[in-house]
Amino acid sequence: MSGRLKDKVCVVTGGGHGFGEAMAKRFAEEGAKVVIADINRTTGAKVEGEINASGGAKTAFFQETNVTSRASWEKLLEASLKEFGRVDVVVNNAGTTYPKKASHTVTEEEYDKVIGVNMKSIFLSVTVVMPYFMDRKAGTILNISSVGGIRVKNGLVWYGGTKAFVNKITEGLASEYGHAGIRVNAICPILAYTDLAQAFMGVDDTPENRHKFEASFPRGEALKQNSSLGYVANAAVYLCSDEAAFVSGICMPVDGAATVYAAGVGK
């Protein structure tokens, strides 16, 4: 542990699995106290237990949270302050999608869910947490977006639209609240091999299809060495640390050059 996040209290939504779990564990390794906010009690409590067991002290706290509910956000902030006394970082990681398919066949229920989890959740986080950060004249918000918000993919148009929203509001919030000592950034990851991988790929999540995916962009080979979960967690540590004190308003692709390659750069 190098202590890059020593004494910081970091709230991670969707912290019970995927990118959220990876970030929560890396934050704890770097000395942070971590609040794992997740709607799934089983996975959230599991990550809490694993972090506390590895650290030898209570460095993680699980709070059951529905990120589409204002009351749940208010309870999350209250519980975090009660447990650790402060909040320094909020990571808006909770997200969802629907199976890749023609945009006109997406159901209203699927659309409402992706809008609620991917967009409304960040609106609620800002309206609940920003006043606290403004009173402290300090705070960091990290939004987990997607490369799909930079280049929207066929079959995932509505999902991509929600992530384009995340990118633009990240820039806007960084501008609006920078004078209050608050930083806002985003990470735009590429596909991770999680339970949502098949929905994003639109094909079965098999070794063969993973190989095809990895061969489709310049640094795809690196996914075999360290999944995108680990790369995103490493980027998050930097953006949430004091090393990035002058970094705000960026949307950082963590994608092995996939976005620029798709845009034809260098071809």
Give the integer Cα–Cα distance in Å for 164 and 48: 31
- Listed residue (92, 100, 77, 58) closest to 196, CA to CA: 100
State the distance between the two ends of the chain, measured CA to CA, in whole angstroms.
41
Q: Which two tokens stand for residue 118?
A: 């991917």
Write the CB contacts of 81 (distance below 8 Å, at least 6 apart in sequence).
87
Q: Which two tokens stand for residue 143?
A: 């939004």
Structure letter (DSSP) for residue 85: S
Catalytic residue at 193?
Answer: no
Q: Which long-range contacts (CB under 8 A, 24 or more apart) does 128-133 make?
A: 128/70, 128/73, 128/74, 128/76, 128/77, 129/73, 129/77, 129/87, 129/90, 130/177, 130/182, 132/77, 132/87, 133/177, 133/180, 133/181, 133/182
Q: Which two tokens stand for residue 262?
A: 């798709």
Give the integer Cα–Cα distance in Å for 43 and 12: 13
Catalytic residue among 98, 159, 177, 231: 159
Catalytic residues: 159
